[in-house]
Every structure is written in C-alpha cells, then in structure tokens.
Structure 1
Amino acid sequence: MFPTALSDHRKGLLLTAIGGLALSMDIPLVRLGDGDIWSILGIRSAATILATLVILGAMRLASGKWPVLIPGRAGLFAGLLYGLSSLTFVLSVFNTATANVVFIVAFNPMFAALLSWIFLKEKPQAATLIAMLFMIFGVGLIVREGLASGHIFGDAMALLSALILAAAITIGRGSRREMGFVPLLAAILPAALGLAQALPLGFSIAHPGWILLNGAIMMPVAFWCLATGPRYLSAPEVGMFYLLETVLAPIWVWLIFAETPATMTLVGGGILVTAIAGHCFWMVREKSIRQPAE
C-alpha cells in the first residue's frame, strides 16, 4: 500500500508541475494577442471549449465510453468557481501590472490551506501558518503599491482570483472525484460573457493566433493537470505549483515586453516566493523524515 501511495504522490507532483509550467505562459500569450478584454476572454475560452470537445471525442472513440465530465454537485460548484476565476484573472491582467497579478495570485496556496482547515478539517501545521503571515505581509506591500499607482481594482481582481481558485481546488480535494474536465468545460461561462460583449461591436485582436494557442493548448493542459492534482496531493500542495507561474510569468513578460516591475512589487513578490519556497522545502523534508518511520 505504501509504494502505491508514494507512486500517486509522484504522479500528482508531475501533473501539477506540468500544469504550473503551462499556466505560466497564460499572461504572456494574452499580452501578445494585443486585443480588448472581451474579445480575448471570448476567443480564449471558446478555443478551450472546442479543444475539450475534440479531446472528449477522441477519448470516446478510443475507449468506447465517455470519461467523467461533471462529477455531481461538487463538480458543478467547482466548475462555476473555475469559470468565475477565468473572468477575474483576465480582468486583473488588463487592470494592473503582470508582476502584481502573478505575485498576488501566488497567495492561492495560503487561501487553500485556510479553506481546507475550515471545511475539510485539515489543520495546517505551524510552518504553514508562519509562511501565511509572511505572505500576507508580501501581498500587503504589493497592494500598497497598487493603491499608489491606481491599480487597486486589478490587484483586487487578482486577490479574488486566488481565493476562487483555492475554493475550487479545495472542493476537488474534498470530493476525491475526477475533476480533470471540470475547469475546461467551465470555460463556457467566460466564453458566453466575452462573446456576448464582443460580438455586437466586432472582435478586436491584433494577433489572434497567440490567443488560439493559449486557449486551445496551454490552458487545457494547465487546467486539466492542476484540477487532477488534488486527487493525489493536498490542496495547499497543489496550490504551491502556482509558484511556477509566479516566478516564470514576470520573466517571460520582461524578456518579451521589457516590462520591469515596481520596486515594492519586487520586494513583496520576493517575500511571497521565499515564503512559499521555504514552506515547500519544509514539507518535502518533513515527508522524507516521516516516510521511513512509517
């Protein structure tokens, strides 16, 4: 039984690592598309839905049966949350700096820890609570910078996105059901909203190929991997793989657009990354100590 548990944990780590890496390309591809918010939201989400339908059709032909799409009420609720998180995330990208978005969204694992504590009775360890305090301080510095630069709405949307994602992850963890297709099908909500707003005036995207690449390939990979991860990992562990986006997205944006984050954003982001990385290291160390004993 122990080798199976270890294998599942490694599977969860691999899935969430791939998901976090794919997610780190989201903001750069949205920026490369160069369009208005509703056109990008609608096309990006519609591409995700079409890609999902193609994948489902291929799986149906290969296995002769449909995979689990929406596992009960938990799946419906999680899907609603994933759909809302797409909307709040794109709103944050268009209303604040990239570094602000990814650093604030990195608060996701701490929200996940709190929600798991409240609803799943998975009490966080002392190290998690300490990391949470440092992360609150780091987010406070970034939001303070947002207030000074007039980006408070974008920062608030990023923080709301982190909370909504953490809630969706926690539901997946609590249900122990297959949630891989839930966030993909949940793209129906932002697609409908974006298309309803964009169609009357016409689409406005300078380079739609980047948006199609993002919606049809990168987002399905990211969301499927990150939604499947809670079957094998705890909600805070899954949330921590969003750290890949936190670290990599500002680097991609800096390399492509030469956008340098504000000083306080870098300071707050450095505190966030250090707190999460330190917490990850501590969790891995504790697990390696406990396993031989068990």
Structure 2
Amino acid sequence: MAAQIDHSAERLLGIVLVTASAAVFGLAGILTKSIRAEPMVIACWRGLVGALLITAYVFWRRGRAGSAHSMRLGWRGWLMAVVGAGASLAFVSAFKHTYVANVAIIYATAPFVAALFAWLLMRERVRGQTMLAAVLSLAGVGLMVFAGAGTGRPFGDGLALIMTATSALYMVLIRAFRETPAVWAGAVAAFLVFALAWFVADPLAVSAHDAALLGAFGLSYALASILWTEGARLIPSAEAGLLGSAEVPFAIVFGWLVLAEIPPTTSFVGGAVVLTAVLAHAGRDWLQARALRAA
C-alpha cells in the first residue's frame, strides 16, 4: 500500500511539473512581442541566459549522480547545435511577424514532421494513426498560412514553418545520435546564436526595460526545460506528450489576455483542426500505454 501511495504521489508530481512546463513555454510569444529589440538580439540573450542556467543544471545533475559522461560533441553534436541555432532564430522571428496563436499551432505539428524525417532519414515505420493525424494537422496549417496571405502575415507563418521543420529535425537527430550530449548541444546552439549576433547586430544596444524582459525570457526558457526534464522522468512518455500539448492553448490564452491579440477566424478554424489531430493522437497513445500497463 505504501509503495502504491508513493507511486501515485510521484505521478501527480510529474503531471504538475510537465503541465507547469507547458504553461511557462506558453509565455514565449508574449515575451517576444513585449521586447522592442530585433529578433536576433532577443534570440541572442534568451539563448545565452537560458544556456548558462541549463548548463549549470546539467553539471549539478551530473555531480549528484556521479556521472562522468563525455561532453565532447564531435561532428554530430555540432550538426545538432547548428540546426538548433537555426530553429531558435526562426522561433523568435516568427513571433515578431505573425500571431502568437499561429506560431503555437504550427509548432504543434512538429511531432508529425519529425515522424516524416525519421522515415526519410532512418527508415522508421510511421503508424497509420500518425499519418492520419499528420494529414489533418497539415491541412489545418495550410488553411492558416493561406489565410495569412491576405492579412500581411505570410512571412511570419513561413518562419513558423521553418522553425517547426528545424525543430523536428533536431528531435530526430537526438534519437539518431544517442551518444551525443543533446542538452550540451542545445547550450552550444545558444552560444552560436550569441556569437553570430555580435557580427550582424548590436546585442548591447538594449534598453533597461528590454534587458529585464530578456533576462526573464532566458529564465523562463531554462525553467520550462528543467521542469519538463524532471517531470517527464516521473510519468510515461505518452502522458508527458499529451500534457505537453497544453502549451498551445496556454500560448493562445496568454496572447489574448496580455496582448489583446485576436487572430482571424480562419486561424481559429485551422487551429481547431490541428489541435484536434494533435490531442486525438496523443490521447490515443496515452490510452494504449495505460491499457498495456493494466495488462
């Protein structure tokens, strides 16, 4: 009985941590739009602050676990870092040029794009339910992007698509290069963006208002990553994926409450299609995993 109570408490903690992670990740859109600096500068400081905090967390975890895994990247790690840097730049730039809701919903299709890349690069079998969910979600995204052409925001939607594709590729590379320290590669990606910013922008030319928000942005990025890492250890991956989908409605609600941002009707229609596909797919995985545990 005591073991069962401990397991229930552990699972509840995992649910709280992953849900909190989704809520913190959902702040990205309003933070980006509240900062007046250009996207390169935002990505630069958000990445640097976040990377330093995450790196400190990684070394703290290594010290507690007594781990001595190598931090050497090699060409695989550097490839992951470059892809991650590109995803970070597209991520921040997309929020500057389109609705928060559009970016969040388009990014929700990343798992399906990752499944496509995994099939192309690693010949992993794609399940029928994943294919169906991917077709539906891409149809919803297509509707949103097509509608954006009439609102002057197709560039931002295009950046969101690039961000989604590069993020999906990063997911696949993590699985393909299992021996590569993925968290450290993510930190190096942030340092690459910081270095690039010194050549094409002026990272020091920020106001006190922007500096405070940039620090908060980096802190939220690190906090969300750590909450996800700790929470996902305590619950099944299918359940973590389902709860992680809450990032999309959190982002949309925050955009509405803080920025009074209301996308056009077609964005809501396309978003409903995407969210239905994502939640149905994640929910089916969760139910299947639950049935297996019960058996």
Whether these two folds match at TM > 0.5 is yes
Aligned partner of 1:165 in structure 2 is 167
Q: Offset of 1:35 from its aligned partner?
A: 2.7
CA distance, structure 2, for counterparts of residue 289 and residue 53 of structure 1:
38
Contiguous gaps of at least 5 residues in structure 1: 1-5
CA distance, structure 1, for counterparts of residue 260 and residue 189 of structure 2:
33
CA distance, structure 1, for counterparts of residue 198 and residue 69 of structure 2:
28
Aligned partner of 2:140 in structure 1 is 138
Q: Offset of 1:233 from its aligned partner?
A: 7.7
Sort the Cα spacing of 1:19 and 1:83 in 2 relative to 1 into closer, same or farther, 3 A: farther
Q: Offset of 1:79 from its aligned partner?
A: 1.8
1:70-219 residue pairs with structure 2 within 5 A? 70-177=72-179, 178-199=181-202, 202-203=205-206, 206-215=209-218, 217-219=219-221
Q: What letter corresponds to residue 92 of structure 1 in structure 2? A: A
Q: Offset of 1:129 from its aligned partner?
A: 1.1
Sort the Cα spacing of 1:238 and 1:132 in 2 relative to 1 into closer, same or farther, 3 A: farther
TM-score of the superposed pair, with normalisation by structure 2: 0.81
Q: What letter corresponds to residue 104 of structure 1 in structure 2? A: I
1:9-48 residue pairs with structure 2 within 5 A? 17=19, 19-48=21-50
CA RMSD in angstroms comes to 3.4
Contact in 2 for aligned 1:40/1:194 (Cα 8 Å):
no
Aligned-partner SS, 1:138: helix
Q: Offset of 1:130 from its aligned partner?
A: 1.0
Aligned-partner SS, 1:35: coil
CA distance, structure 2, for counterparts of residue 18 and residue 182 of structure 1:
24
Q: What letter corresponds to residue 220 of structure 1 in structure 2? A: A
Cα displacement string for residues 190-229 of structure 1 (whole angstroms, at most 9, x for unaligned residues): 22223433328933574321210111x2212334566896
Q: What letter corresponds to residue 32 of structure 1 in structure 2? A: S
CA distance, structure 1, for counterparts of residue 139 and residue 66 of structure 2:
52
Sort the Cα spacing of 1:169 and 1:287 in 2 relative to 1 into closer, same or farther, 3 A: same
Q: Offset of 1:83 from its aligned partner?
A: 1.1
Contact in 1 for aligned 2:40/2:89 (Cα 8 Å):
no
Aligned-partner SS, 1:207: helix
Aligned partner of 1:281 in structure 2 is 283
Cα displacement string for residues 80-134 of structure 1 (whole angstroms, at most 9, x for unaligned residues): 2111100011111111111111111111011011122233333222111111111
Cα displacement string for residues 121-179 of structure 1 (whole angstroms, at most 9, x for unaligned residues): 33222111111111011001110111111211111110111111111111112333442
CA distance, structure 1, for counterparts of residue 50 and residue 134 of structure 2:
33
Percent of residue pairs bearing the same amino acid type: 26
Contact in 2 for aligned 1:92/1:155 (Cα 8 Å):
yes
Aligned-partner SS, 2:263: coil
Contiguous gaps of at least 5 residues in structure 2: 1-6
Sort the Cα spacing of 1:224 and 1:58 in 2 relative to 1 into closer, same or farther, 3 A: closer
Aligned partner of 1:3 in structure 2 is none
Contact in 2 for aligned 1:172/1:179 (Cα 8 Å):
yes
Sort the Cα spacing of 1:290 and 1:233 in 2 relative to 1 into closer, same or farther, 3 A: closer
Q: Offset of 1:282 from its aligned partner?
A: 1.1
Q: What letter corresponds to residue 198 of structure 1 in structure 2? A: A
CA distance, structure 2, for counterparts of residue 251 and residue 181 of structure 1:
32
Contact in 2 for aligned 1:49/1:188 (Cα 8 Å):
yes
